[in-house]
A and B are shown apart, each in its own frame.
Chain A
Amino acid sequence: MSPESPRSDGAAVKAPADRDVDAIRVEQLTRRFGDLVAVDSLSLSVRRGELFGLVGPDGAGKTTTLRVLAGVLRPSAGVAIVGGIDVARDPEGVKGQLAYMSQRFGLYADLTVIENLEFYADLYRVPRGERAARLARLFRFSGLEPFRDRLAGKLSGGMKQKLGLSCALIHEPEILLLDEPTFGVDPISRRDLWLIVHEMVARGVTVVVSTAYMDEAERFDRLAMIHRGRLLALDTPDALRRGLAGEILAVRVAAGRARAARDAARAIPHVRRVAIFGDRLHLTIGSAAAEGPAVVAALRGAGFPAAESEPIEPSMEDVFIDKIGADAETTGGITRSGA
């Protein structure tokens, strides 16, 4: 493939219109480690200013993809263009365009919060005159100001993540790549991390975030669901939900009876899938309005009267299961991941 080939209409070599739309373009990207195919013919593009999610379980290929985009790993095959630069040809050039926060971001445990920030500001050559304003903004969203003189090694896990993110952001990159920034972080710190991310997005930065947590998928403008190195689906959260066949009816049964009720529900013709959540069953059926009453009646007939039942919005987890479902159900609901 040759991105520099002249076009018949005589337009510029790199069409400015494309560059305006796509901050990142990945075509048929493959990355192998020995026999293991960590990323398998992945194609996607991220628009400028977009908050984009790479969503999938551990071993899906999220980290490998981000490391290729960051210029840290070379692709085995395919192309990745980041900020107009081909990462395979110019990995150093790419690094100037972006900030990449890996899962093990290099904080200095024996430096204080402010010393770490100053260190990264030096490293990224942030002009002295701009530092105070940037620090003030990062402190405002991270809530780290009261801890500015605490050693980084003495921070809680959530605060370390916030400090790592703040260090990555000190040079105001155009593109931000975050590898599982919320992993192992409690919900309160997680909210602060998202606040920092959303603030960057509001300022026009393109942000790609990987996560294994399906409930975080709702936050993205668009997301790529990735499984075993391959793209399962790519769209907005709403469109992914709308694309789900059927609706979900949540039914509460008597305490301790959910398993037996689940087995009974599986025998009801309208019910395509059943999952237990505590004392509730989530029943995937064609239409909650049309089939719900019959399903509830059939459950009652089987000895499981529903204390409550209500149609609920499908979650991203439901969508993900739907996308890999057909494949997995043939192997008994168990998936084998390659990595």
Chain B
Amino acid sequence: MSGPGGIDPTAEVNDRAVVVEDLTRRFGSFVAVDHVTFDVRRGEVFGFLGPNGAGKTTTIRILAGLLVPTSGRGTVAGFDITRDTEAIKRNIGYMSQLFSLYNDLTVEENIRFFSGLYGVPRERREARRDWVLEIARLEGERRRVTGELSLGYKQRLALGCAVLHEPPVLFLDEPTSGVDPISRRSFWDLIYHLAGEGTTVFVTTHYMEEAEYCNRLALMNRGRLIALDAPERLRAGMREPLLQIRTNASARVVEALEKTPEVIEVGMFGRAVHATVRDLSRGRDAVHAALDSRAIPYESIEEIPPSLEDVFISRVHEEGGAPDE
């Protein structure tokens, strides 16, 4: 296949599991997704963040073939998101935090059930079952009743069932919510294993500790894509410095800084107050002045590196605040 200008586009296209351009979805007068453009390479773990109502779920539903866009174009695993929605549904896997496992079936019985549901050819079922048991490290539990498994095991089983039909694209919704950190890392090992074999993974989450595991993060607000980069680059790229004020009077500090124009965002963090400012030196001076003029005591004011959550909140604020605010 030869593209325009003699460039063979297949290599690049094959490397991109998901491409969307100017994706827009309206519900009546409400614009849920507003001219969103991005692409995701094959084998990438791609995180979707944003406050409730930001457009994440609508975007995911379009990518999963459950909704068609009002305008814009795109492909998922090579299938057109407007025309080929049935093919897309057969080529994706989905696991939500409320996984659909049957608690009264054994591990093996759940796998058999989902093999049938996803139309895995009969001659492939045994091989797929063994593969799932192996990668999810569930061989020793195959005859156990699912309801008796710990949360970590259940999450890995649910993931295994979601990929029985070898989907090139996988969607996960807060997949490791509530699990202990060792089980979480064990789950992510499995995700990276799948990604290493070429599965493209979308993760939606409200939790930065899950977001940290993604190769790149897309932050949405009010239907628009407002940031897209690797987690540590988002942190490094936060434009506004973050100040930490140590004080015994945090409520009064917050009240004072909310009225200080140099301060963009203010929040309490334990005993300390965190304030995002427009400019480091002017911001620091303004904070000193605001506290001194009101005789509010404090121990120190220092710049600290932002967390991913700080970046998230700052970006959402810059972009007009969350829909609920």
Contacts and interface: CB of A to CB of B under 8 A. Distances in A.
A252 B309 CA distance: 21
Contacts of A159: 324
B137 to A, nearest CB: 6
A334 interface: yes
Contacts of B184: 317
A333 B136 CA distance: 12
B230 A278 contact: yes
Main secondary structure of the interface of B (DSSP, over half): mixed
Interface string A265-307: 0000000000111111000000000000000000000000000
Given A202-B249, A336-B150, A337-B152, A220 B270 contact: yes
Given A56-B180, A59-B150, A332-B137, 11 more contacts: A60-B180, A186-B50, A188-B321, A189-B52, A203-B251, A212-B178, A227-B180, A279-B230, A328-B182, A333-B182, A335-B182
Interface residues of A, number: 62
Interface stretch (A2-10, A11-19, A120-128, A191-199): A191-199
Contacts of B269: 194, 198, 218-219
B181 A214 contact: yes
Nearest to B185: A275
Contacts of B313: 187-188, 191
B179 interface: yes
Contacts of A317: 181, 184, 209
B268 A194 contact: yes
A315 B153 CA distance: 24
Interface stretch (A64-72, A82-90, A255-263): A255-263
B312 interface: yes
A227 B188 CA distance: 20
B324 A279 contact: no
A57 B180 contact: yes
Interface string B33-66: 0000000010111000111110000000000000
Contacts of A191: 267, 313
Contacts of A333: 182, 185-186
19 contacts: A56-B180, A57-B181, A60-B180, A143-B325, A188-B324, A198-B250, A198-B269, A213-B209, A221-B271, A250-B232, A256-B41, A259-B196, A260-B196, A276-B189, A278-B212, A278-B230, A333-B185, A334-B153, A335-B183
A35 interface: no
A219 B270 contact: yes
Interface string A309-339: 0000001010011001100100011111100
Given A187-B309, A276-B188, A320 B180 contact: yes
B151 A158 contact: no
Nearest to A200: B251
A43 to B, nearest CB: 21
Contacts of B216: 278
B215 interface: yes
B206 interface: yes
Given A218-B270, A317-B209, A156 B182 contact: no
B215 A324 contact: no
A325 B254 contact: no
A256 B251 CA distance: 46
Interface string B285-325: 00000000000000000000001010011001000011011
B254 A259 contact: no
Contacts of B312: 187
A219 B307 CA distance: 13
A185 interface: yes
B322 A320 contact: no
A211 B181 CA distance: 13
B175 interface: no
Interface of B: 41, 43-45, 49-53, 137, 150-153, 177-186, 188-189, 192-193, 195-196, 206-209, 212-216, 230-232, 249-251, 254, 267-271, 307, 309, 312-313, 316, 321-322, 324-325
A199 B254 CA distance: 10
A51 interface: yes
Contacts, number: 160
Contact of B192 (A203, A259, A334): A259
A57 B178 contact: yes
A276 B270 contact: no
A129 interface: no
A198 B52 contact: no
Interface of A: 51, 56-60, 143, 156-159, 183-191, 194-195, 198-199, 201-203, 212-215, 218-221, 227, 250, 252, 255-256, 258-260, 275-280, 315, 317, 320-321, 324-325, 328, 332-337
Nearest to B252: A202
B207 A213 contact: yes
B249 to A, nearest CB: 7
Given A195-B254, A203-B251, A188 B180 contact: no
Given A156-B324, A279-B215, A187 B267 contact: no
A58 B179 contact: yes
A188 B316 contact: yes
A227 B152 CA distance: 14
Contacts of B137: 332, 334
Contacts of A221: 270-271
B292 to A, nearest CB: 20
B51 A186 contact: yes
A185 B179 CA distance: 17
Contact of B212 (A219, A277, A321, A324): A277
Given A202-B251, A321-B185, A215 B51 contact: no
Contacts of A215: 207-209, 307, 309
Contacts of B185: 275, 321, 333
Contacts of B41: 255-256
